[in-house]
Amino acid sequence: MSFEICVQAYSEGKQFGLPLNEIFHLFGDYVSKISPVFWRVYYDAQNNCEIHVSVNDGSESEISSLTIHRPCSDIRLWTSLFEIMGLGHVVLYFPGSRALLRDKESLAHLPVDMVNTLGSNIVSNVEELRNELSVA
């Protein structure tokens, strides 16, 4: 797929950091660190992608956002992303999508402008998350 997915976490309208090591390990044995800000996820020759990691200023252990470049369709990637969404008030979005969240409580933590611009949708499982691709 030729687009990018953005993953960010918010608290009371302000972006906050996610635990770098925990997120890295959620991709399992399929992820490798090319550099501190560039990861590669490789399941097989047809299912792989690259991840740009933005770290919080002054912190080597917190991520401010992830950008997944050309996400593959492998369910393991989408399972990892869904698990990341469970680490707090995490939003996932991509061109043409709504702001995707795992629970309604997280909606109150997003910036109002983001919700007004993108709209929002709650996804309860990995399949609902993947189905958002066909809606966008």
CA 73 to chain centre: 14
**Percent above pLDDT 70 for the chain:** 98
Where residue 56 falls among pLDDT bands split at 50, 70, 90? confident
- What is the Cα–Cα distance from 38 to 132, expressed in whole angstroms? 26
Neighbours of 129 (CB within 10 A): 19
Structure tokens at 11: 């608290």
- What is the Cα–Cα distance from 111 to 25, expressed in whole angstroms? 28
User: What does the pLDDT read at residue 135?
Assistant: 62
Closest-CA residue to 30 (of 82, 87, 78): 78
Counted domains in the chain: 1
Host H or E run for residue 53: strand 47-55
At residue 90, does pLDDT exceed 80? yes
User: What does the pLDDT read at residue 60?
Assistant: 80
Where residue 125 falls among pLDDT bands split at 50, 70, 90? very high
Tens digit of each residue's pLDDT (9 = 90 or more) over 11-36: 999 999 999 999 999 999 999 999 98
- What is the Cα–Cα distance from 22 to 61, expressed in whole angstroms? 10
Are 25 and 87 within 8 A, CB to CB? no
Are 52 and 25 within 8 A, CB to CB? no
- What is the Cα–Cα distance from 94 to 31, expressed in whole angstroms? 21
Q: Which domain holds residue 65?
A: 4-135
Can you give the pTM of this predicted structure?
A: 0.94
- What is the Cα–Cα distance from 12 to 92, expressed in whole angstroms? 17
